[in-house]
Every structure is written in C-alpha cells, then in structure tokens.
Amino acid sequence: MAQPQASDCPASRVQASFARQSIMALLGADLDVVEPGRVDIVLPYRADLCQQNGFLHAGISTTIADSAGGYAAYTLFEPGEDVLTSEFKMNFLAPAKGDRYVASGRVVKPGKRLSICQVEVHAYEGEQATLCVIGLLTAVRVTPR
C-alpha cells in the first residue's frame, strides 16, 4: 500500500496554497491553525492597513476572513481539487482595534460542490478579544478539467 505523500495531507496543501497567495505575504498574514474544517489566520497590527480612524480597514478584515473560510473548506477537499469563493456576507459588529487580528473559518456544511463556512474576525489587545466581523461564506470546489 502506498504511503500518502506530503501533498496529500490537507494541512500541507493549505500551507502550499497559502504561500502562493502574494496578498497574504503583502499583508503580513500567517496561518495559525489548520485542521479539518477549520483554519485561523493571524494578522499583526500595522498602521498602514488601517482606515482613517485607526481601525483595521474593512477590506483587510474581509480579505483575511475570505481566505480563512476558503481554506477551511479546502481542508476537506481531495488532492488536485482547488477552492474559490462564490459569495460572502459579512456583518461588522465592532471597530477592529488591536495589536493582532485573527480570522477564523469553520465549515458549517460541507458539500460535493459548495461548502458553507462561518467566518469571524477577532481583534486582540493582549489576550482580550473583541468579535469585530462575523459572516457566512460559500466556497466552491473546483475540480481539474
């Protein structure tokens, strides 16, 4: 029986795909947790990612939330498949002010073609977390042609 290749491991596939996302490198975001159906992305505070009032810009919050949700779904896909987002809806609950931000994606309902994920972004001041964004994301399983 053949041993699984590192590329067959969902965490390895997520890490390799994440490394190809130049936007994550540009933002300074890193993977924190990669488990089946769950991914957390950490973004340290940077003043240049904030809006005029010093809060993390909504576009940056949704960017890391989108990747966390998509990769959460991707952890459940087969080798050779890929992921795209087809839709997301975000609700902003509080201004994102902190020394770091954590975007979490969790698969709520996996599917053959579409997976529904809950996404959240928390702002952390030390160990104190504030839920700033919550939303739903639909991830599409993309199969090779």
Q: Give me Rg for the CA atoms of the chain.
A: 15
pTM for the full predicted model = 0.93
Phi/psi for 82 (5° steps) reads: -135, 180
Tell whether the model's pLDDT for residue 2 goes beyond 80: no
Tokens of 34: 């990669």
Tell whether the model's pLDDT for residue 91 goes beyond 60: yes
Tell whether the model's pLDDT for residue 99 goes beyond 70: yes
- 66-89 pLDDT, tens per residue? 999 999 999 999 999 999 999 999
Angle in degrees, 0-180, between the axes of helices 58-74 and 10-20, rounded to the nearest 10:
150
Q: Based on the number of CB atoms within 10 Å of its own CB, is 29 exposed (0-12), middle (13-18) or buried (19 or more)?
A: buried
Residue 7 confidence (pLDDT):
61
Tell whether the model's pLDDT for residue 3 goes beyond 50: no
Rounded mean pLDDT, 129-144: 96
Can you tell me the distance from the alpha carbon of 140 to that of 82, in angstroms, rounded to the nearest whole number? Answer: 8
- 37-74 pLDDT, tens per residue? 999 999 999 999 999 999 999 999 999 999 999 999 99
Tokens of 24: 């994550």
